[in-house]
Structure 1
Amino acid sequence: MKNRHSAISRRALLPGLLPVLFITSSLFTAGKLSAQTVLAKTYHTEHAKLTESHDQDEPYMSRFFSIEDNLNLTVYTPNGSVEVAENSSLGGVQVDLYVKREFSFWRGAQSLENYRIIIERINNEVIATVENKDTGSRVRAGDNNQFSFQIQVPERGQINVRTMNGPINIDGVKGKLYIQNHVGDITVSDSDGELKVASTTGNLALNQCRGSIFAKSVTGDISAISSEGELRLRSESGSLKASNTRGTLIAATVSGNIDSSFEKIKVGVSLETVNGNIDLALPTGLGYTISARGMNFDFSSIRSYASEEKSEMMSRYMMIRGGELPVKLSSVSGNVKVTESE
């Protein structure tokens, strides 16, 4: 994202404070702390003035925290988007909460008093969360209020972001990233470290990410563009695409296609689908041991480099240039194609 700060860096740093109940979240679990526990903590309350705006184009609430090292950020919203972008020039963490209130014919305009909102700091942990007092982390039927966070952070830290209904965008952050939603697309760009991303119905886009990468979606597609490290991609019914990869790729889907290309392979490749096709482009000039299962095979462009080849009804084995790198491909009812990139 070329202008990663363009949408949020122009806004004034409007600090605010509202101490209430919060939830903490990881990739697959969420726990609650009591209000007594929260209020018993010693808060760092620099810039503690609360700012509220009734203009939906301006932040409803804003806070700034002077944290430059060892940041631990926890974000949750039941209905709305989350954007986290690196901006080390701030010297801290800027949190802006935007509220969009829409009128419902049956329910009217739901009061914001029905929500618990936290934007607070405990030592090096920043908590920015919203939950409905009646339903907790669940989205209430007919609730049209949207709570969206735009957050600017230092370059490195641990980031935990979760939404029930809304897209998530993470840009330029290094460290440990745990990202999860139920509905909505997730985009992570220019990360470096440990990345875990999960969505039920959203598409996942990983752009120029580096490190240990795990991404899972039940019905959405997953794309990893120019990423480096160990990539593990999994979807139930979505397609998987990993292009210009440098490292190791393990990808599996039930009914989607798998399309992958490499600039460099470090350990090996494992691609598996039940009903989809596999299209793999390997770096030129390396040695591969290819074990493949499928309905149809197209190895025509690499056959001239094979020192050994075996064919059975639904399987192929081929050794290319000594077979140093293992390549395992499997499709129950689809086609399998292997080429070498130019």
Structure 2
Amino acid sequence: MRTSVLLLPMVSLLLATPALAQRSADEWVEQCRRNYRHNNDRVTHCEVRETRIPARGSLTIDAGQNGGVSVRTHEGRDVVVQARVQTWAGSDERARSTAQQIRVNTGGTISASGPEMGNNSGWAVNYEILVPARTNLDVRTHNGPINVERVSGTMNLRAHNGPLNLSELSGNVTARTQNGPVNVRLTGRRWTGERLDAETVNGPVSVRMPDGYAAHLEARTVHGPVNVPRALRPADQRRPGERGWRPGANINTDINGGGPTIRAVTTNGPINIQEG
């Protein structure tokens, strides 16, 4: 699938934060139409398709070249897949025709297929997915974000160009992005499950944990400062009034008695650990 590179920031923006990802289908369509009706002489068509499938315990999602993925829990026993389809072309008729050619597959790997496009037209499918609380996930995006909230299971989350937003997860979680920030929000008194391993190459890492959170904390950056509450630092490395560690810092320590490993790593960017 070929798409216009100029439109990639526009597509990714539609799922750039958890707040946007949780908008209703009608709100998403209205926003899509209002903000991107005309862009560089191109017309945008937006629509939402919803499918319910039986929960299988594991879910694989491939968002393709330009799509983003948001996964969160609900009380139902099935999986609800909202495919948020966006197309752009030189005319409204062409944009609508492109949308009609897009097929969303939910039988195995959740993914979409559609026509080859030129420089002035393209398409993307973003996914808003509701799952039972215990669900294993394998999620991949190329130019788009991954947001996962309150899911427990074995997870392999990989983006190339896009942020990772991980909120109140548990289980055995591995999350990677090449270009983008990583935002982690922890809950409870300690991690439930094996570990959390989150890493980016180019981007900041932010971890917020409750006061008194018990964990084995690993945090590392090559080019960037590390900021942590003074109370979380090993006693021999505490200095009055100092919050940040020098670039290239490497934290590997138990906090509040220790627990499962929380690993947060970047190569080019700062690391910020917060309590509260």
Interval of TM-score (by shorter of Structure 1 and Structure 2): 0.5 to 0.7
Partner of 2:40: none
User: CA 1:82–1:206 in structure 2 vs 1: closer, same or farther (change >3 Å)?
Assistant: closer
User: Match of 1:101, SS?
Assistant: strand
1:77 Cα offset (Å): 4.2
| Alignment partner of 1:231 out of 168, 189, 196 | 196
Is 2:69 the counterpart of 1:86? no
For 1:207-286, list aligned pairs within 5 A: 207-227=167-187, 228-229=191-192, 230-244=195-209, 263-266=212-215, 268-281=216-229
Partner of 2:111: 129
The answer to whether the Cα contact below 8 Å between 2:81 and 2:128 also exists between their aligned partners in 1 is: yes
Partner of 1:101: 87
In 1: Cα distance, 2:227 partner to 2:206 partner: 10
User: Match of 2:179, SS?
Assistant: coil
- Per-residue CA deviation, residues 53-100 of structure 1 (Å, 9 max, x unaligned), is xxx6654x54433x25545454544434444443343x5334343433
Higher strand share: 1
The answer to whether the Cα contact below 8 Å between 1:110 and 1:143 also exists between their aligned partners in 2 is: no
For 1:180-195, list aligned pairs within 5 A: 180-195=140-155
Is 2:240 the counterpart of 1:300? yes
- Per-residue CA deviation, residues 19-78 of structure 1 (Å, 9 max, x unaligned), is xxxxxxxxxxxxxxxxxxxxxxxxxxxxxxxxxxxxx6654x54433x255454545444
In 1: Cα distance, 2:266 partner to 2:180 partner: 19
User: CA 1:280–1:218 in structure 2 vs 1: closer, same or farther (change >3 Å)?
Assistant: same
In 1: Cα distance, 2:197 partner to 2:144 partner: 21
User: Match of 2:121, SS?
Assistant: coil
- Per-residue CA deviation, residues 183-218 of structure 1 (Å, 9 max, x unaligned), is 222221112122222222212111111222222222
Q: Which amino acid aligns with 1:86?
A: T
User: More displaced, 69-78 or 222-231?
Assistant: 69-78
In 2: Cα distance, 1:299 partner to 1:183 partner: 42
In 1: Cα distance, 2:201 partner to 2:99 partner: 39
TM-score (normalizing by structure 1): 0.48
The answer to whether the Cα contact below 8 Å between 1:5 and 1:87 also exists between their aligned partners in 2 is: no
Q: Which amino acid aligns with 1:231?
A: L
CA root-mean-square deviation: 5.2
In 1: Cα distance, 2:272 partner to 2:97 partner: 57
User: Match of 1:148, SS?
Assistant: strand
| Greater radius of gyration (CA) | 1
Structure 1 gap segments, 5+ residues each: 10-55, 156-172, 246-261, 292-296, 303-313
Partner of 2:52: 64
User: Match of 1:145, SS?
Assistant: strand
In 1: Cα distance, 2:145 partner to 2:113 partner: 21
The answer to whether the Cα contact below 8 Å between 2:136 and 2:154 also exists between their aligned partners in 1 is: yes
User: Match of 1:112, SS?
Assistant: helix
User: CA 1:194–1:140 in structure 2 vs 1: closer, same or farther (change >3 Å)?
Assistant: farther
Higher helix share: 2
The answer to whether the Cα contact below 8 Å between 2:69 and 2:141 also exists between their aligned partners in 1 is: no
In 1: Cα distance, 2:56 partner to 2:160 partner: 33
In 1: Cα distance, 2:273 partner to 2:98 partner: 56
User: CA 1:190–1:58 in structure 2 vs 1: closer, same or farther (change >3 Å)?
Assistant: same
User: CA 1:289–1:146 in structure 2 vs 1: closer, same or farther (change >3 Å)?
Assistant: closer
The answer to whether the Cα contact below 8 Å between 2:148 and 2:167 also exists between their aligned partners in 1 is: yes
The answer to whether the Cα contact below 8 Å between 2:70 and 2:146 also exists between their aligned partners in 1 is: no
User: CA 1:282–1:113 in structure 2 vs 1: closer, same or farther (change >3 Å)?
Assistant: closer
In 2: Cα distance, 1:57 partner to 1:331 partner: 35
Q: Which has the higher contact order (CA 8 A, sep 6+)?
A: 2
Q: Which amino acid aligns with 1:300?
A: P
TM-score (normalizing by structure 2): 0.58
In 2: Cα distance, 1:64 partner to 1:274 partner: 44
1:182 Cα offset (Å): 1.8
- Per-residue CA deviation, residues 161-186 of structure 1 (Å, 9 max, x unaligned), is xxxxxxxxxxxx43322222122222
The answer to whether the Cα contact below 8 Å between 2:223 and 2:270 also exists between their aligned partners in 1 is: no
Partner of 2:15: none
Partner of 1:51: none
User: CA 1:283–1:80 in structure 2 vs 1: closer, same or farther (change >3 Å)?
Assistant: same
In 2: Cα distance, 1:331 partner to 1:129 partner: 29
Structure 2 gap segments, 5+ residues each: 1-17, 27-44, 243-247
- Per-residue CA deviation, residues 120-150 of structure 1 (Å, 9 max, x unaligned), is 54xxxx443212455xxxx864432233344
